[in-house]
Chain A
Amino acid sequence: SYELTQPLSVSVALGQTARITCGGSYIGSKNVHWYQQKPGQAPVLVIYRDSSRPSGIPERFSGSKSVNTANLTIRRAQAGDEADYYCQVWDSSTVIFGGGTKLTVL
């Protein structure tokens, strides 16, 4: 079955740029979605179809992709960006989530 690999944690200094990776075999051929989940809250869609932002999501959030890796980039990181981030793809009629990355803003 298809698997997505994310780092367990990423740290970023306040105001700097954070990059969260999501690895998967030929993920470049799939649509990748990203979700932000703050403690005690439901996830929120922050990037869909690799690089599109839903309304209300700051331009600081962006997505990109290569053959085997998708990336979520958060520029000018703020304290409020501290959260778990999950990548997600569709594969063979099933939904696959990555294991999640905890972003810490220092």
Chain B
Amino acid sequence: QVQLVESGGGLVKPGGFLRLSCAASGFNFSDYYMTWIRQAPGKWLEWISYISSSGSKIYYTDSVKGRFTISRDNAKNSLYLQMNSLRAEDTAVYYCARGSGLIPFDCWGQGTLVTVSS
């Protein structure tokens, strides 16, 4: 079945970095746009970034531009999010999702928690 599994979350100090991964299975990964979405504790969903099926189109929300980098490896059926210069306000559960937003998010991972704290 279609499945997305995130990993790489954890506790990091302000200014630190983390790399999140999302392993996809059950579908032809290289055919789909993929997206990262986060949710701060007790808050709403916030779109972070998406990447086209080939990786040629990438967009970020303003609050992460210059700090976060989305990428994918279609040969490994994997999506990544490199997060640098982390701030307390980046603390959230990070979800990977299949789709772009124009194309609805029809499959979500279980999420991985990132905590930025000293």
Contacts and interface: CB of A to CB of B under 8 A. Distances in A.
Given A48-B106, A54-B106, A96 B47 contact: yes
**Most chain B CB within a 10 A radius of its CB, from A33, A45, A95:** A95
Contact of B44 (A33, A49, A94, A97): A97
Contacts of B102: 31, 90
Size category of the binding interface on chain A: 20 to 34
A84 to B, nearest CB: 8
A42 B104 contact: no
A86 to B, nearest CB: 6
A100 B45 contact: yes
Contacts of A49: 104
A54 B52 CA distance: 23
B105 A35 contact: yes
Contacts of B35: 95
Nearest to A88: B101
Residue of A42, A48, A86 ringed by the most chain B CB atoms within 10 A:
A42
Contacts of A89: 101
B95 interface: yes
A92 to B, nearest CB: 10
Interface in B94-115: 95, 100-102, 104-106, 108-111
Contacts of A44: 108
Given A42-B95, A90-B100, A97 B108 contact: no
A49 B100 CA distance: 13
A33 B50 contact: no
A44 B104 CA distance: 11
B58 to A, nearest CB: 10
A97 B40 CA distance: 14
Among B44, B46, B50, B110: residue with most chain A CB under 10 A: B44
Interface of B: 35, 37, 44-47, 50, 59, 61, 95, 100-102, 104-106, 108-111
Interface of A: 31, 33, 35, 37, 42-45, 48-49, 54, 86, 88-90, 93-100
